[in-house]
Amino acid sequence: MKHTWRLGKIFGIDINIDSSWLVIFVLFTWVLAGNYFPRAYPTWTRTLYWVMGLLTSLLVFASVLAHELAHSIVALRQGEKVRSITLFILGGVSQIAEEPKEPLKEFAMAIVGPMSSFIIAFVFFLLSLWLKAVSVPLAASATYLAIINMALGVFNLIPGFPMDGGRVLRSILWKATGNLKKATRIASLAGQGMAFLLVFLGIFEFLRGGLSGLWWILIGWFLHNAAVSGYSEVMIKSVLQGMKAEDLMSKDYETVSGDLSVQDLVDHYILKKKERVFLVSDNGDLKGIVCLEDVKQTPKEKWPHSKVKDIMTPRERLEAVTPDADGNQILASLGAKNIHQVPVMSGDKIEGIICRTDIIRYLQLRSDLGV
Ligand SMILES: [Zn+2]
């Protein structure tokens, strides 16, 4: 199960925290308060260790957020839509709606992350010098943050896609070859290579008795997964670009009236026709869409008294697409409101309906055919 919490909005971007991030937050605080500070500063009180541990962890979090915001702000400036930033166990992810359209734009968008981490590291370094005369604990925290941000910048510069460094590499290869797919393949292979190197070094370090080797293995494993899934994501996106809504949609959808009771919908439509999705329409006007999920969310004892129009997703909440929309636009519509189907409409006329599963089936079919 994936759990994310929404913290708020900055520049219109949703800021989310993944539950896995809490693990790293607790771990950071614990290591700082229980080990790092007590070793370096044995004279502090126990409370001070924990206060500084917590404060420093929060600032690590703010630093990672600032790194991601730097990516997002450049993306916004380039006219891209940035939906959200999610912070998880090993950093953050900016949800940028589309892949960059030019090598130079991708270069700028990628390089700004590590650069901002280096700038933040430098600012904390200056702060630590100044704070030494003011407060030793605050200076210690600033020193630690300077090191962490430096490490964050260096780690992200690893030249393997989809790390920032890999994106920089891809943009350079893309500029040189003019071929995005080829550039992605090479940058992704570089990512997998770097991942194996990290795992290998990690094992070597661990066998020599260094526990930090486990970290290298974990990071290498993470990088390998990211390189493989990042590559297939780009490939899927390029396949999706070749799909048209009119080829994907089903035209033999059933229509029900909004005044139908939920009980009748279940008995006479869902169970009989074995369909999961129905258009709700009165006199040819689309009123909304009702699907199995809507029914399941309604308690059974309410089925006889509830009407379809009370549980459906109403027209104004639906993101319709035109028949010539491509696969990426369809997925964006599905993702924008987290719905399971989109109506395909030309003007006010309903042409068909596309479910998430239609897209998956199409991709499956293509991979079975090897095209
Ligand atoms: Zn980054």
Instruction: Give the up-direction half-sphere exposure of residue 165: CA atoms within 13 A in the CB hemisphere.
Output: 13
Task: Look at residue 276 and tell me whether its pLDDT is greater than 80.
Answer: no
Measured CA to CA, the distance from residue 186 to residue 183 in angstroms comes to 5
Helix (H, G, I), strand (E, B) or coil at 89: coil
pLDDT computed for residue 113 by the predictor:
92
Residue-wise pLDDT tens digits, 327-337? 777 877 777 66
How many Å lie between the centroid of ligand 1 and the Cα of residue 90? 11
Measured CA to CA, the distance from residue 222 to residue 224 in angstroms comes to 5
How many Å lie between the centroid of ligand 1 and the Cα of residue 356? 30
To the nearest whole number, what is the mean pLDDT of the chain? 83
Joined tokens for residue 238: 């390029």
How many Å lie between the centroid of ligand 1 and the Cα of residue 164? 5
How many Å lie between the centroid of ligand 1 and the Cα of residue 156? 6
Percentage of residues in the chain with pLDDT exceeding 90?
16
Of 69-73, 74-78, 92-96, 330-334, the poorest mean pLDDT is in 92-96
How many Å lie between the centroid of ligand 1 and the Cα of residue 11? 18
Residues with a beta carbon under 5 angstroms from ion ligand 1: 113, 156, 164
How many Å lie between the centroid of ligand 1 and the Cα of residue 33? 28
221-239 average pLDDT score: 75
How many Å lie between the centroid of ligand 1 and the Cα of residue 162? 9
Task: Look at residue 2 and tell me whether its pLDDT is greater than 60.
Answer: no
Residue-wise pLDDT tens digits, 136-176? 889 989 999 999 999 989 988 888 887 889 889 999 999 99
Own/partner contacts of 262-268, CB < 8 Å, gap of 24 or more, are 262/295, 262/298, 262/302, 262/303, 262/304, 262/306, 262/307, 262/308, 262/311, 263/303, 263/304, 265/290, 265/295, 265/308, 266/295, 266/303
φ, ψ at 283 (rounded to 5°): 55, 40
How many Å lie between the centroid of ligand 1 and the Cα of residue 106? 12
Joined tokens for residue 318: 């639906």
How many Å lie between the centroid of ligand 1 and the Cα of residue 95? 12
